[in-house]
Structure formats: C-alpha cells, structure tokens
C-alpha cells in the first residue's frame, strides 16, 4: 500500500478537465474598513498570518483565511 503525499498533481494541457484554481487570499491591514456577509460592517483590529480580528461594534470576531465572506471597503 502506498500513501499519497500532499503534492499537487500536474495538469496536462490536453486534459478535458479544468485545472484547479488556487483562491487568491486578500491581505488586510490594521484599521481597514471591511464588510462581512453575516456580521456586517467592521474594522480590522488584529492581524495574524492566517487570520484577522474584526470589531463589528456589537461583537469582535476572529476570521480565518481564506476570507470568503469578508471584503475590504
């Protein structure tokens, strides 16, 4: 039995299947105004390598990367 490594498989140009697209991760800075689909408007108050902390006024949430529902205003 062989185990698979985490390496990406090569996409052949002649393949009828579309290659997997890596999602582009947005980079947020401190004090950026942001909008979240569930929590509403907020401001970035903390930044880590794979997450940001956002103050939404009524609550503060840590949002991990990739930031699907979060966008910079």
Residue 13 lies in a domain: no
Residue 7 lies in a domain: no
Structural domain count of the chain: 1
Residue 41 lies in a domain: yes
Residue 46 lies in a domain: yes
Which segments of the chain have a pLDDT < 70? Answer: 1-7, 23-25
pLDDT value of residue 18: 80
Give the residue numbers spanning the domain of 57: 33-72
CB-CB contact of 6 with 14 (8 Å): no
Residue 6 lies in a domain: no
Residue 39 lies in a domain: yes
pLDDT value of residue 66: 83
pLDDT value of residue 19: 78
Residue 26 lies in a domain: no
| Residues ≥6 apart with Cβ < 8 Å to 37 | 69
Residue 1 lies in a domain: no
């Amino acid at each position: 039995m062989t185990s698979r490594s985490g390496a990406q498989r090569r996409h052949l140009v002649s393949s009828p299947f579309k290659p997997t697209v890596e999602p582009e991760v947005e980079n947020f800075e401190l004090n950026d105004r942001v909008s979240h689909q569930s929590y509403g408007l907020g401001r970035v108050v903390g930044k880590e390598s794979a997450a940001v902390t956002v103050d939404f006024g009524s609550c503060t949430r840590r949002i991990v990367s990739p930031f699907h529902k979060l966008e910079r205003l």
